[in-house]
Chain A
């Protein structure tokens, strides 16, 4: 038997494994003798499914300090972001048609805004500082009388940079501008209390938090009420904001995952941040590496590093035993370097030669040490192959 190479998973920001307790919560809805009925059906099996969906709604609401009635189910954060942004623009009766967002937002926010531009909506894509921060002042300066909505992510998926949502939200509220926050990477990683932070719309995802893929939610504030035009019609589910048969097992799973996250938040965050810092301490032994994003304002689970003197695709390919995300994709000559790192002012080469390590509940100190050793060995090796290094060093 050939030795099977070990793969170390440090890609929890891409997706997480489903927690066994979450799966347990999902299984009754996946069994032929279980609660499989349609949650909209008007009979007892249907009522049971509905009750499970509503219990999950309360669990999701609790993690972010919302009311259950403010949670609209979606198929994931991409749909939540689409619904929030397009829904707000299409609903609005004010005629205002300007959005302020940042260049470092998740692709689905950027793409949605670009689409709206083709429909005559003005969009300001703010360039963050080199540390990834978009300051509240910068946002306020970009507002025009035509601005309907600001969309800014709480935690950046590539760099882990945390924006000061708590300070920005009341400033936007005072000015009568809707505030949408993509919290797919923030929920369960840092405390969120929407009773104190006047965000109007907040996107959530299950599979970033040990829940199933295909489940997400959009928080839609009731007081004052944020109004949206539905993006999916048919049947009027979710107060008319999002139609379609509810995927009971996935929502039950999301509820269980969020309840678990609420209980574990502090402990998880401290443990993961400790391991992340350990990884950084190890890797720093390498010369000419650059941490991307402000280390002082970084979510606990992310570490993004650019490596000088190596080419991005080879860096990625040299580490088949490491499941991480890369600023460059393999086997694709047409791949653009990470637009997020480019927006932070990194060169194409440095944006390409970057790795995003994201840690989670399953990560161990041994894995971190092993990953650091693998990365250091391969970076040194690739540098030794490079004629540029030979000439310049």
Chain B
């Protein structure tokens, strides 16, 4: 069969979501016991999506990061974006980030609002642990 016209993103995801989903930069986890690492986890209803973000802090800023995600492409993209964005940020900057910022950065649609919340929750969870 001949080929139909193809484009890079056949499913209508935003360009940012599509790129981060496919490349998933910073996917993974630090070796257990790595110094200065704080992890935050969030999951949505019935665990259809789970996001785990790991931040390594040094001198009050994020020196390195990793994420893992189980969920739709937007969830995976949110994890990848958070991990990349947090690099070099201060804790105060991390605290100021909300779901709306994630949505604006990744340009996902209304029906994916929960993916932004998942990102916000995972980050908050990490920051709570940091406080403790």
Give the interface of B toward A (CB within 8 A): 1, 3-4, 6, 9-13, 21-22, 24, 27, 29, 41, 46-52, 68-73, 75-76, 111-112, 114
How many residue pairs between the two chains, A and B, have CB atoms under 8 Å in the bound complex? 76
Q: Which residues of B contact A390 (CB under 8 A)?
A: 29, 52, 68
Give chain A nearest CB distance to B4 CB in angstroms.
7
B71 touches A314 (CB 8 A): yes
Set B3, B49, B75: member contacting A7, Cβ < 8 A:
B3
Contacting residues, chain A, for B112 (C-beta < 8 A): 333
Please indicate the chain A residues that have their CB under 8 angstroms from the CB of B13 in the complex. Answer: 317, 330-331
Question: Would B70 and A311 count as touching, CB distance under 8 A?
Answer: yes
Q: List the interface of chain A (C-beta within 8 A of B).
A: 4-7, 9, 17, 310-311, 313-314, 316-318, 320, 330-334, 348-349, 362, 384-390
Nearest-neighbor residue (CB-CB) of B52 within chain A:
A387
Known: A6-B3, A311-B49, A320-B11. A333 touches B70 (CB 8 A): no
Q: Name the one of A5, A9, A384, A388 contacting B50, with C-beta atoms under 8 angstroms.
A: A388
**Shortest CB distance B12–A (Å):** 5
Classify the secondary structure of B's interface with A: mixed
- Supply 18 A–B pairs (Cβ within 8 Å), ascending by A: A17-B1, A310-B70, A311-B75, A313-B72, A314-B71, A314-B76, A317-B72, A320-B9, A333-B72, A333-B111, A348-B48, A385-B68, A387-B51, A387-B68, A387-B69, A387-B70, A388-B70, A389-B70
B6 touching A385, Cβ below 8 Å: no
Q: Which of B11, B46, B72 has the most CB of A within 10 A?
A: B72
Chain B: minimal CB distance from A22 (Å) = 15
List of B residues within 8 angstroms of A313 by Cβ: 72-73
For residue B75, give the distance in angstroms from its CB to the closest CB of chain A.
8
Please judge, given known A-B contacts A4-B3, A4-B6, A388-B50, whether A314 and B21 are in contact too, CB under 8 Å: yes
B3 lies within 8 A of A331 (CB): no
Q: What is the CB-to-nearest-CB distance from A347 to chain B, in angstroms, rounded to a whole number?
A: 10
Closest 6 CB pairs of A and B: A387-B68, A386-B70, A387-B52, A330-B11, A333-B111, A313-B72
- Contact: A311 with B12, CB < 8 Å? no
Cβ B11 vs Cβ A386 within 8 A: no
Residues of chain A lying within 8 A (CB to CB) of residue B4: 7
Chain A binding surface SS class: loop
Are the C-beta atoms of A386 and B21 separated by less than 8 Å?
Answer: no
What's the Cα separation between A5 and B7 when bound, in Å?
8
Partner of B24, one of A311, A317, A385: A385
Q: Are A387 and B24 in contact (CB under 8 A)?
A: no
Q: Which residue of B lies closest to A9 (CB)?
A: B1
Q: A4-B3, A311-B71, A311-B75 are in contact. List 12 more A-B contacts (CB 8 A).
A: A9-B1, A17-B1, A310-B70, A320-B9, A330-B11, A330-B13, A331-B11, A385-B68, A386-B69, A387-B69, A388-B47, A388-B50
Find the residue from B13, B21, B29, B76 having the highest chain A CB count within 10 A.
B76
Contact of A362 among B1, B10, B51 (CB under 8 A): B1
- Hey, which chain B residues are within 8 Å of A316, CB to CB? 11
Q: How far is the CA of A313 from the CA of B131 in the complex (A)?
A: 36
The residues of B that contact A385 with a CB separation of less than 8 Å are: 24, 27, 68-70, 76
Please, which residues of chain B bring their CB within 8 A of the CB of A317? 11, 13, 21, 72-73
- Give min CB distance, B130 to chain A, whole Å: 19
Known: A4-B6, A331-B13. A314 touches B68 (CB 8 A): no
Query: Max chain B CB contacts within 10 Å: which of A332, A334, A385?
Result: A385
Q: How far is the CA of A17 from the CA of B4 in the complex (A)?
A: 12
A274 CA / B132 CA spacing, docked (Å): 61
Give complex CA distance A332, B109 in Å.
Answer: 10
